[in-house]
Amino acid sequence: MIFRTPEYYGDFCCIADKCRDSCCIGWEIEIDPETSELYRNTDGAIGERLRENIRDNCFVLTDGERCPFLNEHGLCDIYRTLGEDSLCQICSDHPRYFEWFGSVKEGGIGLCCEEAARVILSGGMGFSECEVPDEDCSGCDSELFELLLSAREVIFLHLRGDDLSTAICSAVDFADELQENIDNGEYALPEWRTSTNHGTPELSAVLGIFTELEPIDESWQPYIRKCITASEGFRGLRPEHTEYLRRIAVYFIFRYFLKGTFDGEIISRVRLAALSTFVIGYLWDCRALEYGSCDFEDCAVTAKDYSKEVEYSEENLAFLCDAFYERECLSAESIKALFHFEGE
């Protein structure tokens, strides 16, 4: 089967104890059946520790919601004692993600990891393919898959080469037309048109949506509320962040767009990419306004924080997908207006 990844995929390497927001803290860590069996049969002191610190196929987190095997030096005792091959699947994969489309497998690295965010913001916007052994996976609607694959290439082409705001606004319109075609049983690409009509931006209302999400980090909602109060000073996305935002937009389209193969849903996934690109850019602007600058490292950490709160909660993603249809401030015209924001 074909394995397709962003060209930067192989550049990621966990920075372990140097990470300031460890994925071994604050997350429930589920152990896959194969690794669970390995841990049950591990001898010695580490085997005893494993059996003492696992309940219902999950590690029992300590005070501070730390994995019980994350030592005082920020390193994994399982990795150090038993080796990398003994990690459970989620620990071995994270922050990598995978999706299967019949004979095609796609994978990438998730923005929620600070080192992955650095790689994404500094990497190229192309993709690599290689042949890998076939894996057991369910099939998909091959005609719809090919249509969406072609549509995604059109979006990528414009995100990489056009004025970014224009490309994103046009992608929102393109998705609406594509959705209509699919809903009518017409598997045809719409014409790409330059978007010109924009509504009135509702920045405070848009940002307010994020205060309704279920927080993962307790500091997230106070932070968003603080950023809402700074909206009066916002005059539009900063030119110095444009190339980083292109990579953010490409990341979200690559990760989510083809999922429409399974449910035919296109609109919410393109609006998620557009909204996420704008809000991350807005948060960068807030950082620059408060501290006088928002450099590469600031951009990576802020994008990571956004991804952690939005992408890594199924409930929050579902909430946003519904809101794209139910909230006027997240309509196509309202989202496009954000990219032509000139202050209130």
The SS3 assignment for 165 reads helix
Q: Could you tell me which residues are beta bridge partners of residue 2? A: 104, 131
Q: Alpha-carbon distance 231 to 51, whole Å?
A: 51
Q: How confident is the model at residue 106 (pLDDT cuts 50, 70, 90)?
A: very high
pLDDT over 60 at 130, yes or no? yes
Across the range 130-148, mean pLDDT stands at 90
Cα-to-chain-centroid distance, residue 131: 25
Decide the pairing of beta strands 104-109 and 2-6: parallel
156-189 pLDDT per residue, tens: 999 999 999 999 999 999 999 999 999 999 999 9
Q: For residues 125, 107, 61 and 79, what is the CA-based torsion angle, rounded to 10 degrees?
A: -100
Mean of pLDDT over the chain: 94
Q: What angle in degrees, to the nearest 10, is found between the helix axes of 296-310 and 114-122?
A: 120
Handedness of CA 6, 10, 12, 16 (dihedral sign): positive
> Tokens in use for 74?
């920020």
Higher per-residue confidence, 236 vs 147: 147
Across the range 321-328, mean pLDDT stands at 96
pLDDT over 70 at 31, yes or no? yes
Q: Alpha-carbon distance 119 to 117, whole Å?
A: 5
51-74 pLDDT per residue, tens: 999 999 999 999 889 999 999 999
Q: How confident is the model at residue 344 (pLDDT cuts 50, 70, 90)?
A: very low
Nearest to 105 by CA among 1, 9, 213: 1
What per-residue confidence (pLDDT) applies to 235?
Answer: 86
The SS3 assignment for 2 reads strand
Q: How confident is the model at residue 342 (pLDDT cuts 50, 70, 90)?
A: low
What per-residue confidence (pLDDT) applies to 139?
Answer: 78
Handedness of CA 173, 176, 181, 182 (dihedral sign): positive
